[in-house]
Amino acid sequence: MGKRSLAAIAATLMTAAALAGCAGDDGGDAGGGSGKLVLGFSQVGAESGWRTANTKSIQDSAAASGVDLKFVDAQGKQENQIKAIRSFITQRVDVIAFSPVVESGWDTVLKEAKDADIPVILTDRAIDSPDTSLYKTFIGSDFVLEGKKAGEWLVKEYEGKNDPVNIVELQGTPGAAPANDRKTGFADVIKADPKFKVIASQTGQFTRTDGKQVMETFLKAHPDIDVLYAHNDDMGLGAIEAIEAAGKKPGTDIKIITVDAVKDGMTALAAGKINYIVECSPLLGPQLMDLAKKVNNGEQVEQRVLTEETTFTPEQAKQVLPERKY
């Protein structure tokens, strides 16, 4: 059991005593005295290849590091994540971690965790609360930088050309940090040159299905699309199906930039159907387990832990695909 304030320990013991009186059990921590660190994790859902790889990384790392993982899939709903966090508090897990499906609306439930003296770790996505005392650390990518990298590739690709460049954008889940920030980073770079015009921008919910459907509407409304910027590979892959069904060549007639670098995206990149991918690593499991142990022991940790990631061209994708973990 990690270091907790004396008041919280007293409250826990009194609750345990009360529960023991009525329920006959010790009402103790979720781990039932197994001695293992008990980590409650609320995952966004299973919307994309990235998410599947992220879940695998967390589950595999928990097993490898002897952490008792209570894993809950929120199916993309914030209310399910809030419910899961409240359940973790009731179970008195040692540490709570979650990937916030959207940036806002977390202060109340995170205050409840703080009052229960249970440390919280944010993974993958950030929240917009100004109260950074509500969580011990945030481990994840810099999504604004990812958007900037996508924009910088486009600027280079069209260097020296003056014709208008018509861009359509498939945004991630409305309100999600990666959707907000990848849009901002990309727009910040391309605004330097008026030839770049975002002629349509709409959410594809980070899924292939929605990415395909929205791209179909873009193609019907805009016969002159030059570039697609998709906030993740899955929407880009769905869009490729729509582009091919419309008789156009993805990667040639319409240049495509995506973010994530999951295996299916990298395969399309190697085949020239995508032109550039900005990596967003889902392999947060090992660092999360390390951070969970540290905060459980009351150790100081960095407020912000940035994940390492790069970018890929088709040539680079061909080289790394054979040993790609996800």
Applying CB under 6 A, which of residues 89, 277, 280, 295 lies at the interface with ligand GZL? 280
Q: Which stretch binds ligand GZL (CB under 6 A): 46-54, 60-68, 82-90, 210-218?
A: 46-54
Q: By C-beta, is 147 or 178 nearer to ligand GZL? A: 178
Any contact of residue 65 with ligand GZL (CB under 6 A)? no
Q: Residue count at the site for ligand GZL (CB under 6 A)?
A: 15
Q: CA 319 to CA 314: how far, in whole Å?
A: 9
Q: By C-beta, is 307 or 316 nearer to ligand GZL? A: 307
Any contact of residue 43 with ligand GZL (CB under 6 A)? no
Tokens of 213: 């459907």
Of residues 47, 1, 37, the one with CA closest to residue 210? 47
Applying CB under 6 A, which of residues 12, 41, 47, 242 lies at the interface with ligand GZL? 47
Applying CB under 6 A, which of residues 103, 181, 210, 260 lies at the interface with ligand GZL? 260
Any contact of residue 293 with ligand GZL (CB under 6 A)? no
State the minimum distance, in angstroms, from the CB of residue 49 to ligand GZL.
Answer: 7
Any contact of residue 283 with ligand GZL (CB under 6 A)? no
Of residues 107, 162, 121, 137, the one with CA closest to residue 37? 121
Q: Which stretch binds ligand GZL (CB under 6 A): 4-12, 45-53, 79-87, 221-229?
A: 45-53
Task: Give the strand pairing for 255-260 and 304-306.
Answer: unpaired
Q: Which amino acid is at 220?
A: K
Of residues 73, 20, 1, 14, the one with CA closest to residue 42? 73
Q: Which amino acid is at 152?
A: E
Q: CA 37 to CA 49: how far, in whole Å?
A: 29
Q: CA 31 to CA 67: how far, in whole Å?
A: 10
Helix (H, G, I), strand (E, B) or coil at 185: helix
Any contact of residue 98 with ligand GZL (CB under 6 A)? no
Contact 235, 168 (CB under 8 A): no
Residue 1: CB partners within 8 Å, gap ≥ 6?
29, 94
Applying CB under 6 A, which of residues 126, 259, 269, 278 lies at the interface with ligand GZL? 259
Q: By C-beta, is 182 or 294 nearer to ligand GZL? A: 182
Tokens of 319: 């080289």
Q: By C-beta, is 259 or 274 nearer to ligand GZL? A: 259
State the minimum distance, in angstroms, from the CB of residue 35 to ligand GZL.
Answer: 33
Q: Which of residues 194-233 bind ligand GZL (CB under 6 A)?
A: 206, 232
Q: By C-beta, is 178 or 251 nearer to ligand GZL? A: 178
The dihedral formed by the CA atoms of 24, 29, 33 and 35, expressed in degrees to the nearest 10: 180
Any contact of residue 48 with ligand GZL (CB under 6 A)? yes
Task: Give the strand pairing for 276-279 and 311-312.
Answer: antiparallel
Q: Which of residues 153-182 bind ligand GZL (CB under 6 A)?
A: 178
How far lies 249's CA from each of 164, 228, 255, in Å?
20, 12, 9
Applying CB under 6 A, which of residues 4, 125, 183, 255 lies at the interface with ligand GZL? 125
Tokens of 233: 């590979």
Helix (H, G, I), strand (E, B) or coil at 287: helix
Q: By C-beta, is 140 or 314 nearer to ligand GZL? A: 140
Any contact of residue 51 with ligand GZL (CB under 6 A)? yes
Q: CA 126 to CA 74: how far, in whole Å?
A: 17
State the minimum distance, in angstroms, from the CB of residue 50 to ligand GZL.
Answer: 3
Any contact of residue 141 with ligand GZL (CB under 6 A)? yes
Please give the residue ranges that form the binding site for ligand GZL (CB under 6 A). Answer: 47-48, 50-51, 124-125, 140-141, 178, 206, 232, 234, 259-260, 280
